[in-house]
């Protein structure tokens, strides 16, 4: 499937035009992981974020190690590094094979948002909505 078509089905990019999706696709880099491979490690610096396009990942908190959520197709990982530029808040591990993600560098994303402020506004609004959804999921899971 063409990358822009994949991105169209990702909430993060909901509201972007086809030409804006082309701009986003131009800064995406595909990575493939085997089951058990680590995508991001808690505490390490994070300068990129990820969109799961195939498979599932498990988000883990360390010490003691515990799973907090599984994220599948269309879901965003590592977005907190874009928002607050802090270290990774959790470890992320592939739990299906293959797990495929699209990777976007924070620096390239910021350049894109400065050049196309409408993209920046829509994507940041959608990141806020995604974080809100994750909180709602967690609240329901802990009932």
**Cβ proximity to another protein, 11 vs 108, nearer residue:** 11
By CB under 8 A, name the binding residues for another protein.
9-11, 14-15, 56, 58, 67-75, 95-96, 129, 133-134, 136-137, 140-141, 143
Shortest separation between residue 68's beta carbon and another protein, angstroms: 5
Cα angle 97, 66, 138 (rounded to 5 degrees) comes to: 90
Rg over CA atoms, the chain:
15
**Cβ proximity to another protein, 19 vs 140, nearer residue:** 140
Shortest separation between residue 107's beta carbon and another protein, angstroms: 27
Alpha helices in 12-116 (DSSP H): 18-25, 79-83, 106-115
The percent of the chain in helix, strand and coil, each rounded to the nearest 5, is 40, 30, 30
Shortest separation between residue 111's beta carbon and another protein, angstroms: 25
**Cβ proximity to another protein, 108 vs 131, nearer residue:** 131
Main-chain phi, psi angles of 18, to 5 degrees: -60, -40
């Amino acid at each position: 499937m063409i990358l822009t078509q994949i991105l169209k089905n990702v909430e993060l990019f909901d509201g972007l035009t086809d030409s804006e999706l082309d701009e986003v696709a131009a800064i995406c880099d595909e990575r493939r992981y085997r089951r058990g491979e680590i995508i991001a490690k808690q505490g390490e610096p994070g300068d990129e974020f990820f969109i799961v396009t195939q498979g599932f990942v498990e988000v883990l908190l360390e010490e003691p190690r515990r799973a907090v959520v599984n994220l599948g197709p269309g879901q965003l990982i590592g977005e907190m590094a874009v928002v607050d530029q802090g270290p990774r808040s959790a470890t992320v591990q592939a739990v299906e094979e293959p797990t495929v993600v699209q990777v976007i560098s924070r620096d390239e994303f910021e350049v894109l948002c400065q050049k196309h402020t409408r993209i920046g506004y829509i994507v940041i609004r959608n990141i806020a909505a995604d974080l809100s959804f994750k909180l709602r999921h967690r609240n329901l899971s802990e009932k």
